[in-house]
């Protein structure tokens, strides 16, 4: 039997949190990640079989009863996870009544799941309805996307189209566009509900003046999604830095040709 700390799950989430920090998206304790793991994939690890303690969730997560999540701790620094995974990560299992989470591994110095865990779980619930392979929710603070929330109307169609037109890759990676919610207080069930409602149609939701919520089937895919959105926002910032004058740009027809060539369906409300 192996130790869970040496599993591919802990290794990958530790890499991703460090890389996200390294990109400048996770100052201090900014950002959080949760990864849904099948019980069968935990069979080899003897150290995840006992409940260490039980944690209140503060909302009804019954739709996820019995599911396991590897999640970052509240107040923990993404920069550090790679060096102290047993302290900064926890493996939890949602209880049968959906009100609590049993801690099976990690958070060894008394840590608790991220303050955004209700928002993560609500997003997992909605994404699972549209994609059975849904596994990851990732929140972070990408600088250029946050900047965009000050200079643009908080309009999904406008922001999605702007990001699509910043690089040929955007439409291919997020053809549905990006969801946008109003500014709301972090860590509340209200922001969780608003985010999850957007997750019915989008895998990426902008939190104005704060950051981004992304969802996907793997850590790599979700990271790549956020990376692509932030790259597009960075190009927009750089256009501003070069004087802001646009001489030529990707047209709507060129976006349609892109969608056709890459066999994706662009959100018909936006294009
Ligand atoms: P946590 O430290 O609770 O994960 O919060 C970080 C954050 O980014 C809140 O939005
Ligand atoms: Zn945040």
Q: Select from 87, 114, 141 the last residue of a domain.
A: 114
The answer on 24 and 97 residing in a single domain is yes
User: Is pLDDT above 80 for 206?
Assistant: yes
User: Residue 51 has what DSSP assignment?
Assistant: -
- Nearest ligand 1 atom to the CA of 115 is 3
pLDDT number for residue 35: 99
Into how many domains does the chain fold? 2
The answer on 257 and 224 residing in a single domain is yes
Q: How far is the CA of 244 from the centre of ligand 2 (A)?
A: 29
Residues with CB under 6 A from ligand 1: 29-32, 74-75, 114-116, 139, 186-187
Rounded to an integer, the average pLDDT of 232-236 is 98
The answer on 19 and 9 residing in a single domain is yes
Q: How far is the CA of 188 from the centre of ligand 1 (A)?
A: 11
Beta bridge partners of 102: 54, 93
Q: How far is the CA of 31 from the centre of ligand 1 (A)?
A: 5
> Is 116 labeled as catalytic in the residue annotation?
yes
The answer on 135 and 258 residing in a single domain is yes
The answer on 72 and 152 residing in a single domain is no
The pLDDT tens digits of the residues spanning 238-253 come to 999 999 999 999 999 9
Q: Counting ligands in written order, which one lies closest to the CA of residue 116?
A: 1
Those residues whose C-beta lies under 8 Å from the C-beta of residue 45, and which sit 6 or more positions away, are 1, 2, 3, 4, 7, 105
The answer on 165 and 68 residing in a single domain is no
- Categorize the per-residue pLDDT at 1 as very low, low, confident or very high, splitting at 50, 70 and 90: confident
Mean of the per-residue pLDDT values of the chain: 98
The pLDDT tens digits of the residues spanning 142-152 come to 999 999 999 99
Q: For residue 36, what are the domain limits? A: 1-114
- How far from each other are the two terminal CA atoms of the chain, in whole angstroms? 53
The answer on 82 and 154 residing in a single domain is no
Rounded to an integer, the average pLDDT of 148-160 is 98
Is 0.85 topped by the overall pTM?
A: yes
Q: Select from 68, 85, 114 the last residue of a domain.
A: 114
């Amino acid at each position: 039997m192996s130790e869970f700390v040496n599993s591919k799950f802990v290794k990958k989430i530790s890499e991703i949190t460090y890389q996200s920090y390294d990109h400048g998206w996770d100052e201090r304790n900014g950002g959080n990640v949760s990864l849904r793991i099948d019980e069968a994939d935990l069979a080899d690890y003897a150290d995840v079989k006992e409940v260490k303690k039980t944690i209140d969730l503060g909302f009804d997560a019954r739709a996820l009863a019995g599911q396991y999540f590897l999640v970052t701790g509240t107040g923990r620094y993404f920069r550090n996870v790679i060096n102290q995974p047993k302290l900064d990560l926890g493996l939890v299992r949602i209880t049968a009544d959906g009100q609590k989470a049993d801690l099976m591994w990690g958070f060894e110095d008394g840590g608790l799941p991220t303050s955004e865990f209700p928002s993560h779980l609500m997003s997992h619930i909605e994404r699972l309805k549209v994609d059975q392979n849904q596994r990851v929710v990732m929140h972070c603070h990408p600088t250029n996307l946050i900047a965009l929330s000050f200079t643009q109307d908080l309009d999904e169609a406008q922001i999605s189209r702007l990001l699509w037109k910043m690089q040929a890759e955007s439409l291919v990676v997020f053809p549905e566009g990006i969801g946008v919610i109003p500014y709301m207080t972090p860590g509340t069930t209200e922001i969780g509900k608003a985010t999850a409602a957007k997750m019915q149609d989008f895998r990426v939701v902008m939190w104005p003046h704060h950051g981004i919520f992304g969802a996907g089937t793997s850590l790599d895919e979700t990271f790549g999604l956020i990376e692509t959105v932030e790259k597009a926002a960075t190009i927009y910032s750089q256009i501003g830095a070069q004087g802001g004058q646009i001489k030529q740009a990707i047209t709507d027809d060129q976006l349609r040709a892109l969608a056709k060539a890459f066999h994706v369906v662009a959100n018909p409300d936006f294009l």
